[in-house]
């Protein structure tokens, strides 16, 4: 390539300059290159592992407890719980691979909060569904620690790594009827697990977090006056599940009184939606209708009264959980569990839909959406802990944090069914209903 005069001269000068750079300049240049290299290397190793890489993704969705405690594990804990926004909260969500937990984790992360999940991935229902939720969340940089809320040392370790501002405690043994089969599971999770979490929050954190936790509409038990309000009596639970949730509310009062923990109980009303729980009627009714199986619809009284539930769509419940977190006041206790500085916030709210629907209507909606009839049997409600109806008055949650449910059952079930057939790869034509 012919070089013109200008280029030739310039290039010769440049070559000369390079040949005769004084030693000190070469040294400085070398140091600068090294510093840049070190900086880039460090950045790569301290930035959140790119979850698109197999190893990072596998760590984020790691199922093996041995990751609890190692350097890489600690880094995942720290990165997942670091807020993206300066004003972001740092929330520990227990039951994060559960139905309500996984939806709340995603909502908090998306708005810029730091979120760390914790879940024991038990086999109360299909653990693969929990693992799928975990994989879905890991794409958003959310780490779920595989552990049980009864593991005090693990909880203390997490608080050593991250000073969580809030705990959203959703881990529990759910399900009204299962308590007949496995009562101890309710004691393990809903009583011992809750007390363990409160013990760590009260005595092993600095500062103490504010806690929002899942109570249940079932605490209204055999009440007959509707709609149910938070000030109604709750001393007639109809199931062990309800009794453990009621006990949770009393335990919350104790830890609030002694240790100054800020505590907010949320009484969920039959929550449903995509990524839901297979142990709930709307879910297994859908499966049965698609599989041409039988479903049993309970009837109250002498088998002649409709049973109804105030079915509440998951997105409305998530808004309620976030609202409760955003209006939670700080705890007033001191590290180590000494004398609290003053009274701490203690609240309880209904999160329902304010419009109960008979179970038979739920079945009709599913039949229309799925374009198939159900093989329905109607039986008198067994003595299994179920109650004839639930109906929420939500004026308190609306007043305190703007809770306002907006999803009717047909709309919500349409979204659920759409998710269901996709998740389970079912080839069926859904009806626009």
Ligand X SMILES: O=C(O)[C@H]1O[C@H](OP(=O)(O)OP(=O)(O)OC[C@H]2O[C@@H](n3ccc(=O)[nH]c3=O)[C@H](O)[C@@H]2O)[C@H](O)[C@@H](O)[C@H]1O
Residue 205 binds ligand X (CB under 6 A): no
User: What is d(CA 340, CA 72) in angstroms, rounded to the nearest whole number?
Assistant: 36
Q: Is 142 helix (H, G, I), strand (E, B) or coil?
A: coil
Residues contacting 221, CB < 8 A, separation 6+: 234, 235, 236, 237, 238, 242, 387
Distance of alpha carbon 186 from alpha carbon 391, whole angstroms: 24
DSSP result, 117-172 = EEE---SSS-HHHHHHHHHHHHTTT-EEEE--TT-HHHHHHHHHH---SEEEE---
Q: Which two tokens stand for residue 117?
A: 């999940």
In this structure, the dihedral spanned by the alpha carbons of residues 317, 320, 324 and 326, taken in order and rounded to 10 degrees, is: 120
Can you tell me which residue has the tokens 């009827």? 177
Instruction: Tell the smallest beta-carbon distance from residue 67 to ligand X (Å).
Output: 30
Tokens matching residue 51: 């979850």
Q: Looking at 202, 243, 280, 317, which residue binds ligand X (CB under 6 A)?
A: 280
Active site residue 241: yes
In this chain, which stretch among 140-148, 190-198, 291-299, 425-433 interacts with ligand X, using CB under 6 A?
Answer: 291-299
Among 193, 167, 199, 191, smallest CA distance to 321 is for: 167
Q: Which of 96, 108, 168, 174 binds ligand X (CB under 6 A)?
A: 174
The answer to whether residue 175 forms part of the interface with ligand X (CB under 6 A) is yes
- Minimum distance of ligand X from residue 59's CB (angstroms): 32
- Closest to ligand X by CB, 147 vs 280, is 280
Q: Which residues pair with 377 in a beta bridge?
A: 296
The rounded distance, in Å, linking the Cα atoms of 186 and 179 is 7
Q: Which stretch binds ligand X (CB under 6 A): 78-86, 247-255, 295-303, 417-425?
A: 295-303
Contact code string over 370-389 relative to ligand X, x by CB under 6 A: ----------------x---
According to DSSP, the β-strands at 312-313 and 308-309 are unpaired
Site map for ligand X, 210-229, x if CB under 6 A? ------xxx-----------
Name 231's Cβ contacts closer than 8 Å, sequence gap at least 6: none
- Which position among 241, 255, 272, 313 bears the catalytic label? 241
142 vs 214, beta carbon nearer ligand X: 214
Nearer to ligand X, 259 or 282 (CB): 282
Q: Which of 27, 72, 296, 373 binds ligand X (CB under 6 A)?
A: 296
343-372 binders of ligand X (CB under 6 A): 359
- Told to check if 309 binds ligand X by CB under 6 A, we report yes
Per CB under 6 A, 281 contacts ligand X: yes
Q: Which residues bind ligand X (CB under 6 A)?
A: 174-176, 216-218, 268-270, 280-282, 296-298, 307, 309, 359, 386, 390
Give the residue numbers marked as catalytic.
241
């Amino acid at each position: 390539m012919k070089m013109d005069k200008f280029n030739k001269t310039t290039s010769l000068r440049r070559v000369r300059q390079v040949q005769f750079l004084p030693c000190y300049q070469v040294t400085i240049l070398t140091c600068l290159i090294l510093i840049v290299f070190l900086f880039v290397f460090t950045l790569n190793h301290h930035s959140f592992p790119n979850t698109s890489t197999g190893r990072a993704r596998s760590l984020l969705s790691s199922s093996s407890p041995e990751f609890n405690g190692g350097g890489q594990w600690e880094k995942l804990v720290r990165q997942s719980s670091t807020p993206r926004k300066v004003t972001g909260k740092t929330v520990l969500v227990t039951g994060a691979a559960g139905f309500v937990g996984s939806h709340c984790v995603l909502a908090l992360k998306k708005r810029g909060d730091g979120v760390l999940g914790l879940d024991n991935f038990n086999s109360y229902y299909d653990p693969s569904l929990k693992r799928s939720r975990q994989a879905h969340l890991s794409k958003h940089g959310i780490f779920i620690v595989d552990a049980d809320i009864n593991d005090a040392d693990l909880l203390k370790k997490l608080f050593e790594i991250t000073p969580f501002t809030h705990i959203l405690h959703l881990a529990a043994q759910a399900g009204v009827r299962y308590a007949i089969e496995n009562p101890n599971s309710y004691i393990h999770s809903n009583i011992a697990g809750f007390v363990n979490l409160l013990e760590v929050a009260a005595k092993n954190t600095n500062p103490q977090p504010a806690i929002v936790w899942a109570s249940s509409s079932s605490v209204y038990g055999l009440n007959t006056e509707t709609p149910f309000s938070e000030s109604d009596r709750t001393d007639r639970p109809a199931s062990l599940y309800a009794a453990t949730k009621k006990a949770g509310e009393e335990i919350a009062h104790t830890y609030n009184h002694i240790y100054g923990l800020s505590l907010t109980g949320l009484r969920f009303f039959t929550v449903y939606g995509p990524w839901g729980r297979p142990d709930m009627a709307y879910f297994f009714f859908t499966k049965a209708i698609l599989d041409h199986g039988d479903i049993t619809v309970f009837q109250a009284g002498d088998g002649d009264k409709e049973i109804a539930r105030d079915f509440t769509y998951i997105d409305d419940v998530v808004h309620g959980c976030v609202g409760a977190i955003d209006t939670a006041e700080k705890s007033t206790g001191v590290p180590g569990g000494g004398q609290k500085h003053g009274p701490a916030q203690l609240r309880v709210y209904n999160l329902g839909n304010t419009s109960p629907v008979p179970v038979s209507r739920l079945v009709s909606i599913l039949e229309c959406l799925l374009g198939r009839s159900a093989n329905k049997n109607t039986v008198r409600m067994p003595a299994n802990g179920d109650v004839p109806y639930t109906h929420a008055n939500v004026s308190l949650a609306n007043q305190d944090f703007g809770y306002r449910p907006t999803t009717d059952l047909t709309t919500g079930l349409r979204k659920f069914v759409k998710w269901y057939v996709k998740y389970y790869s079912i080839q069926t034509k859904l009806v626009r209903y």
